């Protein structure tokens, strides 16, 4: 069993859920739907075989501004 870390953010009218350990993302109309869809997507990703998993001990969500 692998522990997966993810982030959820709003993009226009949808919530986007993105896994930090693997290159998988999903979305939904609500936060709960976005998380549930991500769980299903990650399960399918690991079922397909050659999954590239990056363990993450700790995660910090930050924000900063750049000119551009």
DSSP secondary structure string for all residues of 5-56: -EEEEEETTEEEEEESSSS-EEEESSHHHHHHHHHHHHHHHHHTS-------
- pLDDT at residue number 15: 98
Overall domain count for the chain: 1
Provide the whole-model pTM: 0.86
Range of the domain at 24: 1-68
- pLDDT at residue number 34: 98
How would you write the pLDDT of the chain (68 residues) with one tens digit per residue? 888 999 999 999 999 999 999 999 999 999 999 999 999 999 999 998 777 899 999 988 898 999 98
Residue 49, domain CATH: 3.30.160
């Amino acid at each position: 069993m692998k522990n997966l870390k993810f982030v959820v953010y709003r993009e226009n009218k949808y919530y986007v859920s993105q896994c930090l350990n693997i290159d998988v993302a999903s979305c939904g109309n609500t936060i709960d739907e976005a998380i549930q869809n991500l769980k299903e997507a990650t399960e399918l990703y690991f079922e397909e075989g050659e999954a590239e998993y990056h363990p993450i001990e700790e995660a910090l969500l930050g924000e900063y501004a750049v000119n551009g």
